[in-house]
Amino acid sequence: MTAINNNEKSGFFKKLLDKVEVVGNKLPQPVTLFAILMVLVLLLSWIFGGVTVDHPGMKAGLVDAEGSPVETISVVNLLSREGIQRILTEMVSTFAQFPPLGLVLVVMLGIGVAEHSGMIAVALRTFVSKVPKFLITFSIVVAGMISSVAADAGYVVLIPLGGVIFMSMGRHPLAGIAAAFAGVSGGFGANILPTGLDPMIAAFTEPAAQLINPDYTVNPLSNYYLMAASVPLVGLAGTWVTERIVVPRLGKYTPEGEIVEETTEITAQERKALKWSLLSVAVILGLVALATAPADGILRGDIDPDTGVRSMQPFYNSIVPIMFIVFFVGGLVYGMVAGTIRNDKDVSNMTAKAMATMGLYIVIAFVAAQFVAYFNWSNLGSVLAVVGSDGLTAIGFTGGPLLVAFIIVASLVNLVMGSASAKWAILAPIFVPMLMLLGYSPELTQAAYRIGDSYSNILTPLLPYFPIVIVFAQKYIKNVGIGTLISMMLPYAIAFMIVRIPMLLVWIWLGLPLGIEGPIYYTP
């Protein structure tokens, strides 16, 4: 029995993805890749040391730390005496002060309690079980996008749940798995709630922008409006693909052997625990509102002399700690009521489990921090940005076509490099300054990257959870393989690309803010 009726089509996709897999497997692991890039930056700084270009901020009247006008940018040789001393003396501080490291680990402490207490799993099950049947597909896709607040929880909870729900409705379970996978991975980044990805990505964007403007800051929620507005659009696109393409191609499902029914029933104790958990979260959010909304609130800053209104910057800088508190308290209350947390040792173990999963990320963060530092110290990014922007301007490759090309480039890189932060750590120092020099804000470049980094996730076997999705599908159809899964997911990738790229272009045309402190254009 085949999973998809049009098996010759799935054969084409299988051959295509097999080639991608062969090429992708020849690439080094992220840790090795960053180590290679570190060496490459050192060599390039030595080869091009002394190369000088006019500073783009010269016309804007920028000055250096000593107050002298900024006129040129020169490539710094990091293999010189001073460069080697800086590399060795600042290696530890470079790692310890790497912005994404602390931001991600703090959020994951809270998420660890919420996830391992069972709160997140029950919340997801409640979400998809409380909607009418005609909205179930839409709700699964949307729930997949929302699940990114809990990092990878959606992969291990919602995707198999999608198959169970569809089978319980008498529909093909692979369609439910496909819809959930599309939301969790293909709709990555689109969310009505802030997630750990927001501060993580912004932490790479800000230092890249400071290559051009040392005082530039990037709000973690600078893409929030665009990403939140993408949720219903992606949800509708995912629903249409599921109902009009995937379900007809799969045909009627005939179980192979004995299928053990799984229950999605939520117990009375779980329901009670979730209510108390949500109440605690509501209380916290209410306290945050009380500390932010009043003009003299605790999370308001100094009075802006131009507007006479207190700054919101303390609140913006507190978003990550607030996210930690929300997840931690919500998970703690849930666990205490549900009985999954009996003492402080249980809480410690849950946070330890969360940190244990971050081991590889910490190693990647070390080498990524060194690479980013070397790249910044050498001025290679600034010089490359000036030369690149001049070249793009000379050939007239600007505006919408440039942004679309950048999105496509990001999506292609995504096929062979799975980590969103690792890719952005490489691309941001080049494209953020380049597009700033063309008048586009770092926040817009970041938004374009996040779109490109989403829809192609579901097409690559290099995605860490790709094999797990195949295993989930093989529970229902034994011979499901890469070709079967890709042939199901390719229509979602195309549909998400078709709706999200034009949406960004329309957003720019309307001049809407991308998020909180998220301008479209950059003004020196």
**Which residue segment(s) compose the domain that 319 sits in?**
7-62+71-510
User: Is 28 part of any domain?
Assistant: yes
User: 501 in the Ramachandran plot: left (φ > 0), alpha (ψ -120 to 50) or beta?
Assistant: alpha
| C-alpha distances in Å from residue 286, one per residue of 224, 272, 296, 322, 500 | 20, 21, 16, 12, 33
Count of beta carbons in the 10 Å neighbourhood of residue 404 = 17
Q: What's the rounded Cα separation, in Å, for the pair 273 and 281?
A: 12
Q: Is residue 103 part of a domain?
A: yes
pLDDT at 444: 92
Q: Is residue 523 part of a domain?
A: no
User: Residues of 32-56 as b/e, b for ≥16 C-beta within 10 angstroms?
Assistant: ebbbebbeebbebbeebbeeebebb
Residue 515 lies in a domain: no
Q: Does residue 137 contact residue 231 with C-beta atoms inside 8 Å? A: no
The per-residue pLDDT for range 173-190, each reduced to its tens digit, is 899 999 999 988 888 878
Q: pLDDT band at 261, cuts 50/70/90?
A: very low
Within-domain flag for 143: yes
- Tell the burial category of 372 from Cβ atoms under 10 Å away from its Cβ (0-12, 13-18, 19+): buried
Q: Is the pLDDT of residue 287 over 90?
A: yes
pLDDT tens digits, one per residue of 435-492: 888 888 899 999 998 898 888 888 876 666 776 777 778 888 877 777 777 778 888 9
Of 305, 518, 326, 282, give the one whose Cα is nearest residue 290. 282
Indicate if the pLDDT at residue 270 is higher than 80.
yes
Q: Hey, what's the torsion of the CAs at 102, 108, 113, 116, to 10 degrees? A: -150
Q: How far apart are CA 266 and CA 15, in angstroms?
A: 42
In a domain, 373, yes or no: yes
In a domain, 522, yes or no: no
- Report the distance separating Cα 470 and Cα 17, nearest Å: 14
Both tokens of 213, joined, read 């403007």
> Is the CB of residue 379 less than 8 Å from the CB of residue 73?
yes
Percentage above 90 pLDDT, the chain: 18
In single-letter form, the type of residue at position 254 comes to T
- Over the stretch 81-138, which tens digit does the pLDDT of each residue have? 999 999 999 999 999 887 667 776 887 788 888 888 988 778 767 766 676 777 888 9
First vs last Cα of the chain: how many Å apart? 62
The string of pLDDT tens digits covering residues 246-260 is 888 787 877 765 444
Number of separate domains in the chain: 1
